[in-house]
Amino acid sequence: MRKAKEWTLSEFGSLNGGQLNWKSDPENWSIAQCLEHIVVVDTLYFPVFEKISEGSYDMSFWEKWSPFSTGFGRMLVNQMNEKVTRKFRSPRSFRPDTRPIGPEVITRFSKHQDTLIQFVEKLDTGHAEKIRITSPASRLVTYSLADALQMLVQHQYRHLNQALRVKNSNGFPG
């Protein structure tokens, strides 16, 4: 996560608003939207990370007994692989704003990474396989904290790679 922050600042930190919001195609996301999406998704996990790190997290009945948790976790980890083999449509609550996003998205992403790193450092990852959480996208989907953390890291790199493809696209404003 620290590397992702440093790489993002190095790769995109000097870009202006026009460059950050440029799209090769109206259907694709801009660099700013990729970064905003990462912040939006990760932030949805912060309340549960806070409870787990404070020791006040109690798994719900479904989180404790769902027979699907392991399967959901493995499936999501495999789907969110940083090397895209298949595109997925993000749930509406995970999508970035369609309006132009200002250059402060770089600072917001950087601060966000710091917060995420602090949470991960406070989490008891020794028991991460036993702690199950509910997906922010669906109350029916549960998976281990370990799978959630792995998925979030892969998800970040998936979209950072996407942002780099935008920057390297033909027609990217110089």
- Cβ proximity of 144 and 131 under 8 Å: yes
The domain tally of the chain equals 1
Average the pLDDT over 50-75 and give the result: 93
Share of the chain above pLDDT 70, in %: 98
Domain membership of residue 131 (yes or no) is: yes
The SS3 call for residue 33 is: helix
- H or E segment at 65? helix 61-65
Domain membership of residue 115 (yes or no) is: yes
**Bridge-partner residues for 133, per DSSP?**
143
Confidence category of residue 97, pLDDT binned at 50, 70, 90: confident
Does pTM surpass 0.85? Answer: yes
Tens-digit pLDDT profile for residues 117-140: 999 999 977 889 999 999 999 999
Domain membership of residue 119 (yes or no) is: yes
- Cβ proximity of 140 and 71 under 8 Å: no
Domain membership of residue 161 (yes or no) is: yes
Domain membership of residue 58 (yes or no) is: yes
Average the pLDDT over 111-122 and give the result: 95
Domain membership of residue 17 (yes or no) is: no
* CA 114 from centre of chain: 14
- Cβ proximity of 48 and 145 under 8 Å: no
Question: Which amino acid belongs to residue 147?
Answer: D
Domain membership of residue 134 (yes or no) is: yes
Confidence category of residue 29, pLDDT binned at 50, 70, 90: very high
Domain membership of residue 47 (yes or no) is: yes
The domain containing residue 80 runs over which residues? 2-10+29-167
Q: Kindly state the tokens that stand for 77.
A: 């980890």
